[in-house]
Structure 1
Amino acid sequence: MPTDIKDITVIGGGPTGMFAAFYAGMRGATARIIDALPQLGGQLAALYPEKYIFDVAGFPKVLAKDLVGSLAEQMRQFDPDVQLGQRVIALEEEDGHFVLVTDTDRHPTRSIVVAAGIGAFSPRRLPQKAAEPWYGRGIHDVVTSPESYRGKRVVIIGGGDSAFDWASQLAGRARRVTLVHRSDRFRAHAATVKEVERAAAGGRAEILTFHELADVVCEGERMCGLVLRDVKQKTTRTVDCDVVLPMLG
């Protein structure tokens, strides 16, 4: 158990948590970070390390993993204590200070900053039972190497920023990108939606609205397509694919 009482303990090791620890050091305060994940960076490191981010001040675009690395380097100027792989489960008071209790330890602190985002998380999986056996064998919810999709037929399921960001980035690498969403209302940034629409107009991508996964088509042990259900017309169609990327949040 750490016996030194920190001035500030930050719950969450994502970008906000790391900057909070850096700023604590700038103000002469000692800091500790606690995060449930095994690495710093939050969702950027766990889900989108190879995705470009376009809305960080001062950067036209920056890879998520590079932003995480820069924030960690900035923070470490002041040598904060970093405790990873620990989930906070309780808060206690003891002798005039707080104690954050995790599933493995106790951390005394004078103050607490909660920068946990959506909290401990894992990617949302496709709800269809047909998809489950193919995770890791054709269905991947994290993109670790965009170049590995070069020349492949990629289906992206989702209508948010991650779905459209990856559709935009992979349209120049993949043989074909098909974006599938069960609505015609997208949660992605309008500029990125327009990029994917331009790729679709140029034949490098396709956007299928009002569709959802119905089944997986395979040849032996290899996934080769998806059966998609039109949620409005109640019909189905088959789309050839080599890789499926569920980007559901």
Structure 2
Amino acid sequence: MKVIHLSDIHLTKNRNEKMFDVNPYKNFDFVCQEICRIKNLTQIELIVVSGDISDNGDIESYRYFLTKMDSLKTPYIAILGNHDLKDNFDIAFNEKKSGYIITSGDYQNENWHIISVDTVVEKEDYGFITENNLIELERKIINNNGINTAVFMHHHAIPVNTPIVDSCMLNNANSLLTICEKYKVKFIGSGHAHTSRIWHNNNMTISVAPAVVFQWILGTEIVKISKGFGFNIIDFSKNLSLTSCLY
């Protein structure tokens, strides 16, 4: 199974508005074109979008996102990030009635169970997984009947050594990692850091996807960006592999 992992699109209210001289709509449109091209080369079973779809939670930005995602004609999971507003996303979704979005946030085939986890704290940049959500995650993993598990969320759980984002990462990352290590979760994917990073911990792969809008300069403590952008392709085969598509 091959999965495309997008993150941090940051669509603005005005389609001509730029963030640090970057137009997020232009980048997102390009990424969607690339996904269509890649789909002609290899089978993509699922797309996971791990948060910050919108920069300010504007309803129109969600309408645009849902229309573009439906045009890809591929099942997808949409996880919200700290910049998103769930009420506005729900308004746009109820208008659009997307035919490809997986509203449960989970996806399962004969070999893998993909589970999404909510890490958003309202009106805060940092992430936190509530006790109830940790219990629910553990329950889902236990009920997997021995198949491989992959967990996706917005906030990163391991520092990427860039202070501007490590200051607002997942606050209770140790609680998540303890559960994942206990039950031998194979993969954890996130966004938020605007940085492409991958770690291998025994049989677990932990990945941060590059942002669709822009990347932070490695190690920066202030607003300092690279205009590069991209996404990951994850091959959930026997020997799990990951390709970062950077532009």
TM-score where L is the length of structure 1: 0.28
Q: Considering only CA atoms, is the larger Rg found in Structure 1 or Structure 2? A: 1
Higher fraction of strand: 1
TM-score (norm 2): 0.28
Higher relative contact order (Cα pairs below 8 Å, separated by 6+ residues): 2
